[in-house]
Amino acid sequence: MLYFSLKMSELLVIAGVVIGVLMIFRIYVNGARCKSKAKLHGKTVIVTGSNTGIGRVTAVDLARRGARVILACRNQTRGQAAVDVVQRESGSKNVVYMQLDLASLKSVRSFTETFLKTERRLDILINNAGVYMQGTTEDGFGLMFGVNHLGHFLLTNLLLDRLKECAPSRIVTVSSYLHNHGNIDFDTLRTHKEFGVGAINSDLARNLNKMSRRLLKGIAALFFKDVEAGAQTTLHCAVQEGIEALSGRYFSNCAVQKVKAKAQDDAVAKKLWEVSETLSGLS
């Protein structure tokens, strides 16, 4: 057998190199940052799912810029607690909670009705909320399809006129790079078999079992962006000047990215829009 020993100084050098490599790797993983210094005084923003994760980080940043920020969340207790956090971290008191359960089309309609009656403006809508768990919505749709897509689809359409009135306005919908690996099966939209998760170390996986959460946490700590880094592209799309001509494009790391051909299939997009209109009661 071969034995060898290292001096303490050599161990410290090795440890320093390893730590340095890991730090550089984390900088690479976290990616680009939103560089815009735009102020949003007089503007109103809705951020769904903003009681935790990248949604809350996004809300803090927008509140710091002077926007009136609506935290649109399902759970009132968590939502009110998030208001306190966002106000404290942003230094702004112009942050409020409004109840919105994207797993209930009735709740979506109730939210928009209340919002349109009580708020004069809507300049930015950020469709951030997402779930990663099995189940069905109040209306019988697959939970992930219902919350991640259908609820936001209805919400956006019901708020569209107000957004147009406040033009130039923006809609930012948080997506996942895993769209590159998926296909739409229109026959299963009413089932609970839909999956979708992005590579952000957020609270999205809070509904997994304990062992799965522990395993994911270790992997995520090294290979996934943290929530602040994960919010940067959302913020870029919400406030960056000069990107209006890129409306409808897919962004990652604060830049437009190419998508595969199936993500540009106009026939599939048209069908999904029509199906979504029907399922959400818009047609």
Cα–Cα distance for residue pair 23/16, rounded to 1 Å: 10
Q: Tell me which residue has tokens 């409808």.
A: 248
- 270 burial via Cβ count (<10 Å: 0-12, 13-18, 19+): exposed
CATH node for 41-280: 3.40.50.720
238-244 contacts at long range (C-beta below 8 A, 24 or more positions apart): 238/45, 238/58, 238/62, 238/124, 238/126, 238/170, 238/172, 239/34, 239/36, 239/38, 239/40, 239/62, 239/65, 239/124, 240/34, 240/35, 240/36, 240/38, 241/36, 241/38, 244/168
**At 69, phi and psi to the nearest 5?**
-115, 125
DSSP 8-state class, residue 178: G
- The answer to whether 142 touches 189, Cβ cutoff 8 Å, is yes
**Tokens found for residue 33:** 């940052």
Domain limits of the chain?
41-280
Q: Where are the alpha helices (DSSP H) in 96-177?
A: 105-118, 143-145, 152-165
The model carries a pTM of: 0.81
Q: What is the pLDDT along the chain (283 residues), one digit of tens a residue?
A: 444 455 666 666 666 655 555 555 445 455 789 999 999 999 999 999 999 999 999 999 999 999 999 999 999 999 999 999 999 999 999 999 999 999 999 999 999 999 999 999 999 999 999 998 889 999 999 898 999 999 999 999 999 999 999 999 999 999 877 777 777 887 776 554 444 336 444 455 555 566 665 655 555 555 556 888 889 999 999 999 999 999 999 999 999 999 888 888 999 999 999 999 999 999 8
How much is the pLDDT for 196? 39
